[in-house]
Amino acid sequence: MKRSPARPTSVDAPHFHGRRKGRRLRPGRQALVDGFLPRLRIELPQEEGCLEPRALFDRPVRDVWLEVGFGAGEHFVSQVEAHRDVGFIGCEPFMNGVAAALSEVKVRQLDNVRIVDDDARPVLAALEDASVGRVFVLFSDPWPKSRHNERRFIGSSTVDALARILKDGGQLCFASDHMGYVRWALEHVTADGRWSWTARQPAYWRCRPDDWFPTRYEAKARARGAACVYLRFERKSRIDGGSSERKSLVCSGTRVI
């Protein structure tokens, strides 16, 4: 496996909005960034759509899952530990969060993890078609001001990219406490005929699924009395063309809030 000590820049990314650094890292965390992160960092290829994710790991894995914006890594690291037979790719541009996750990965001696300390969009572009089994986008920045809505990670271009990289039956797992972003995500994903929303009753989106783990952002939201919404979408079969069902549950009257 090729590894590089440099941050991946081989696939151009759009202008990134958000913080990359917070307060200065403690010496121990900085040592992890300097010495441990290069062993886990992914080198992106020059050409789009040619990264086979299972080849990134030093041992066979049955599937590869991706988390976009893992924050301090509470959910990400818990998933990595719970599914040792799955390879995990985590994307997080905020270095303080990366350092926190690295600390847990090292303490728990996890060997089924790779990290991109940068924006996730170049990773989506690099991955092969139908090469990922699950993608998590949990409590990402909602960019609440109308003029900033297009900065949200979930949008037309990323929904298209996610539909390309996910296997048939693969899952897109989304959570947020911002109802404007929830409606936005529902509208963008269900408007694309390649997806189906798996909810059958309100409990499906009001309660965190048993196979997801809590994050500090969820805890903060609940502490201030905010409701959290959990959405799970499934990639339809490519054999059907994914175009037979284009009904949006938002438009058809199903309400999330």
Active site residue 111: no
Mark 222-250 as b/e (b = at least 16 C-beta within 10 Å). Answer: eeeeeebbbbbbbbbeeeeebeeeeeeeb
Q: Which two tokens stand for residue 145?
A: 């001001």
The CATH number that applies at residue 122 is: 3.40.50.150
Distance CA 101, CA 207 (A): 25
26 assigned to some structural domain: no
Active-site residue, from 141, 177, 192, 211: 141
161 assigned to some structural domain: yes
38 assigned to some structural domain: yes
Domain that includes residue 204, residue range:
31-235
| Each residue's pLDDT tens digit, 85-142 | 999 999 999 999 999 999 999 999 999 999 999 999 999 999 999 999 999 999 999 8
174 assigned to some structural domain: yes
How many folded domains does the chain comprise? 1
20 assigned to some structural domain: no
253 assigned to some structural domain: no
| Each residue's pLDDT tens digit, 31-64 | 999 999 999 999 888 888 899 999 999 999 999 9
72 assigned to some structural domain: yes
